[in-house]
Amino acid sequence: MAISTHQLDFEDFLLLRHYPETASSTSLSPLNGGSWGWEVPGNSACLDYSYMLQITNEGCAKTMEGEEGVGKFKIAFRTKSGIEVMDDGYKWRKYGKKKIKDNPNPRHYFRCARQGCKVKKRVERDGEDGHFVITTYEGKHNHQT
């Protein structure tokens, strides 16, 4: 599979980063509704998968600072691609499928096939925009590609 990637059309995509306990404090802004935030890169004209992987690693490092981790890093991005599952070099084992209320489309749950690797991957196809795919990564790989 190989992502083939290389150059997917990331014309429209959103990057979502999640920070476990960023000082949530007692009062979370109602506007945020949590510690989730959407980030949209300025020049998203051409973003390649490698870039996303970098972001992932970076985020992991930050989030896991001090913790062993395995943790709780979560990143999600919506891409405008007909391909839902792109191969990022890791082997994924599907462990579930579920239909979400918000989306009439089924959501696929993947998990890294490597032992000791508790990374989870969630892929949801946008039913209204068939060409949009929301991929969410959770956790950190204990091994290199």
Q: How far is the CB of 76 from DNA (least distance, A)?
A: 11
By CB under 7 A, residue 109 contacts DNA: yes
Which of 30, 102, 104, 128: binder of DNA (CB under 7 A)?
102
Q: How far is the CB of 59 from DNA (least distance, A)?
A: 19
By CB under 7 A, residue 1 contacts DNA: no
Residue among 88, 119, 94 at smallest CA distance from 8: 88
CA distances, 137 to each of 25, 57, 72 (Å): 25, 11, 10
Which of 10, 73, 77, 92: binder of DNA (CB under 7 A)?
92
Q: How far is the CB of 39 from DNA (least distance, A)?
A: 20
- Tokens describing residue 135: 């991929």
- Phi/psi-derived region of residue 112, left when phi > 0, alpha when psi is between -120 and 50, beta in every other case: beta
- CA–CA separation, 50 vs 56, rounded Å? 10
By CB under 7 A, residue 120 contacts DNA: yes
Residue among 7, 5, 135, 3 at smallest CA distance from 75: 135
By CB under 7 A, residue 93 contacts DNA: yes
The region of 24-32, 44-52, 68-76, 95-103 touching DNA under the rule CB under 7 A is 95-103
By CB under 7 A, residue 97 contacts DNA: yes
By CB under 7 A, residue 94 contacts DNA: yes
Of residues 10 and 110, the one with the C-beta less far from DNA: 110
- CA–CA separation, 139 vs 72, rounded Å? 5
